[in-house]
Structure 1
Amino acid sequence: MNRTWRRRLVIIGVSLQALVLLLGVGMMVVVMLKYPNELPARTEVMYAWFVFIVHAIGLGLAVYSLGLMGRQPKRAGVYLLLTGLLMIPLTLGATVIQSLLFMVAGLGCFRRQSYFLSA
């Protein structure tokens, strides 16, 4: 079955996820090295690193499900749905766009399509 649009949604979500992850970690490292006296409370810094870890896990699961999509689309759909549903509350809504893309692609993996036209 052709799953092109599902793959595209996952690729767009993975790209956004990687961009946020790289820019966020880079920004945190620069702030920690350049302005160590102006850092917020320790709990806020720990939560920021927790959010980046959630981003990295979500990125890994999305890439893994992208590889599974051709062979086992239902399992890939489950992974995408779980990734999307868990990332929204764990990051307090910071990953809404990526999570929605993953969930739409995950739901699409469960649907079977017939491309035969009935005239």
Structure 2
Amino acid sequence: MTEFLDAGLQLPDRQVVDSKGTPLGKIDDLLFTEGDDERPPALAAVLIGQQAFAARLGGRTGHWWAHLAQRLTGRQGPNEVPVAAIDDIGTVVRLASPAEVFPSLTAPERWLRHHLISRLPGGMRESD
């Protein structure tokens, strides 16, 4: 029996983890291929990150959020994780590879660790 997934209802806000179980973020938006007369649109990638979240917000708030995310991460646009990189969709979305294969997903955490957490008493240092 084939199980169907309503991606628009069931994937947004679902936690994404790498193959080792390390959390990488939540799905903020979806990217579909264009459909035509013979094929319906198909899910091409899941979008993760603050800039994808900003697109969901829309309006001035979304524009401000995207600008802030771009300034903090130095990256334009959301992180795209192709459907082919997804190993399993359950209560979490598990990727087939470790986080090292997706450096842009871990960049915000590295930035926060370097600029904020490492400066706090007892915070993790760069070598941790």
TM-score (norm 2): 0.28
TM-score (norm 1): 0.29
Which of the pair has the greater relative contact order for Cα pairs under 8 Å at 6+ separation? Answer: 1
Q: Report which of the two has the higher share of helix.
A: 1
Structure 1 or 2, whichever has the larger Rg, is 1
